[in-house]
Amino acid sequence: MALPDPTTLVAFVPAAVALILAPGPDTVYVLGRGMRDGTRPGVAGAAGVATGVLVHATAAALGLAALFRAVPAAYTAVRVAGGVYLLFLAVRTLRSGEAFTVSAGDESPARGPARSYAGGLLVNVLNPKVALFFLAFLPQFLGPDAGVVEPLGLGAVYALLTVGYLGGVAWFAESVGAGLGARPRVGRALHLLTAAVLGAFGGWALVDAHSRP
């Protein structure tokens, strides 16, 4: 078992960045904490979300490694199932009319860094869609003989990118919130970019699985 090679990272990092940029519950939470409670709680919330990413990545890595060891032929089935799920997410993203908003009238109590961290962790860990996403996304960058280290390495990279981006969102929370609120086309463009990435990897997974002997 080895850490992800540079070629894998060259493909993984741009895809991960495109997906992380898409507004979602994690971004809304961090942005809300930054706008209401300040930079430190917002950054702490970002760290909590990134920790949740590591939890999901670890669970996916252990499950996939065990499955591939027990049933080597399961690799193709996982790729196909993951590809179908990614295509489903792409279509749902395209059809989504959700607006990226943070209510200015939110009267939730102020949170310090510790509570914001815990909140970010729970927002991510308790989202079953994140678990399904990692089970579908990570295998697209793994080989059939992948162990635990490779998907864990990719999960750690995803977590670092997440905390870097969401930490920036928290740091510039007020201006980020105002900019996205005043420019709905920006949020729509990010949704389209996310759909394109999900669709590309979903289609690639199905084509690659079909072409294997």
106 or 197, higher pLDDT:
197
| Pick from 5-19, 132-146, 173-187: least confident | 173-187
pLDDT in tens, 137-164: 888 887 777 778 888 889 999 999 999 9
Phi, psi torsion values for 102, nearest 5 degrees: -125, 115
Q: What is the mean pLDDT of residues 42-51?
A: 94
pTM higher than 0.85 for the full model? Answer: no
CA dist., res. 19 & res. 205, Å (int): 17
Looking at every residue in the chain, the average pLDDT score rounds to 79
**Residue 79 tokens, joined:** 């790729």
Q: List, for residues 51-76, the tens digit of each pLDDT value.
A: 999 999 898 888 887 887 777 777 77
Distance CA 115, CA 104 (A): 20
**Considering only 35-49, 80-94, 133-147, 185-199, which range has the smallest mean pLDDT?**
185-199
Domain positions in the chain are 6-97+112-211
Judge whether 28 and 102 are in contact, CB under 8 Å. yes
